[in-house]
Structures are given as structure tokens and as C-alpha cells.
Amino acid sequence: MEINGKVAIVTGGSSGIGAASVRLLAARGMKVLVADINEEKGNAIAKEVGGAFAKVDVTSTDQIIESIDMARSMGEVWALVNSAGFGWAQRTIGKDGSYESAHSLDAFKRVIDLNLIGTFDFLRLTATAMSQNSPDADGQRGSIVNIASVAAFDGQIGQASYSASKGGVVGMTLPIARDLGAVGVRVNTVAPGLIDTPIYGEGERAEEFKAKLAKDVVFPHRLGKPEELASMVLECIANSYMNGQVIRVDGGIRLPPK
């Protein structure tokens, strides 16, 4: 699929995998709208790549529509990278055996709302906009890439909500790809392993913690780089025969129980 000069939306584009995807897509000639809740970082990276920024909470349908309309003012939207999300860790039951100490239901709902429902909401609305694009020679009108996690398959103790949310993203990939094939829109999902992002902090302790995590990686023996994930995102967008796939980018890791 030709992407040069086309418009892309990247949610969660102000940091980590999202930011790396923004930079790589822009370097390959795409006009990128950074959709993120962090105004300072979002505006900075948008300025860096000559793109645009929209403040978006992906749990707000109205804000999603506003950002898509902003992107359409830049041209036809041919790519969406769903990278916005967050994690939560809590055991299913508490140590004292009380109902009150069980896993927070509000927290579980919040993770599902943002990581799964927010991803689907952005996908369904962007796909609607893509369906109005002029098709290319293959009949294509766009490509969507969701960011899941290996926790969808190897969820650790305490990751019930996060694994459920990412498992939902994995599970909906194929049926949506089959559905949107009718209008020429492809859908794939990338499932990252342990990626070196700001979530781990900085300094000596952070480096020691990351080194400990890297011991479970088969090869290479390190955390992944955001740029390595962005490379797979680009492939899913640009390769016209990539469709309905869930691809692990994880150095061969299989997460232990804890």
C-alpha cells in the first residue's frame, strides 16, 4: 500500500511505541496526527515531525470523532495505530479474605474501558472514515494496527484486567478484518513483549530492574526497543497482504506466572 503523502492517526502517540510509530511513519512520508491526552508531549512530537496534535481521551466518543475530523482536514486517513492504553496490577482476592479487599471492580472496568472499548471505538469510527476513501488499484482504502501485549497470552499474576483487555483486542482482530475486507480496510494487531519505555523509570535502579526482566527473553537478551515495534507497525500498514494477523514482537519470551 502506498503511504507517502497519506494521513495517519496514532493514539498514545506522545511516548513509547506510539511516539516511535509517529516518527517512523512521518519519516516514510505520512502526515501524522498525534492523538493523546498529554498535551505537552503530544504537541512536541507533532511539531518535531511536522504533523498535528489532538487532545483525545479514547474513552470519549466525541473527542475521537473530533480528532478524526481534524485528521481528515489534512487529507484522506489511510492508517490508524491504536497505541493508547495503560496497565493495572492487583491480585484477584485480598490477604484478609474480606469482600472489600478483592480486586477493585472499578479498576477492572477502567482498564477494559480504555484498552479494549477505547480501541474498538477509535477503530470503528476511523474505519467508517476510511470507507469513504478513493480505493487504490487493489481496492484498498486503509490499514489499522492495534497494539496488544504478550500478556494477552501469558498473563502474569495480578494482570487479570490488563490481560483481559489485551486478549479482547487479539480476539476481535480477525472478525473485524473479515468484516472490513468488504470496504478494503485491513486490520492487524502487534503484541509487544517487554519494551524499554519510560514506564520503567530512569537511573541505576531502573536499569537493574530492566536487566532482571531481560533474563527471561530468549534472544536477544535485552528489552525491546520502541523502534523495533514501530518497524512492525509500518510493515502491517504498508504490506498489502498483511491482514487479520496477531504478531508477537517479544524476543521469544514467554512470561512466567510472576
User: Which residues of the chain form beta strands (DSSP E)?
Assistant: 7-11, 31-36, 52-55, 77-82, 142-147, 185-192, 246-249
d(CA 200, CA 150): 17
Give CA 64 to chain center in angstroms. 15
Between the alpha carbon of residue 159 and those of residues 13, 136, 226, the distances in Å are 24, 42, 22
Please report the DSSP string for 172-198 in residue order: HHHHHHHHHGGGTEEEEEEEE-SB--G
* 221: number of Cβ within 10 Å: 11
d(CA 212, CA 193): 14
Residues annotated as part of the active site: 162
The Cβ-side half-sphere exposure at 121, using a 13 Å CA radius, reads 21
User: Which residues of 52-108 form beta strands (DSSP E)?
Assistant: 52-55, 77-82
Contact 119, 58 (CB under 8 A): yes
> For residue 223, what is the DSSP state?
P
The C-alpha R_g of the chain, in whole angstroms, comes to 18
Give which of 33, 17, 80 is closest to 230, Cα–Cα.
17
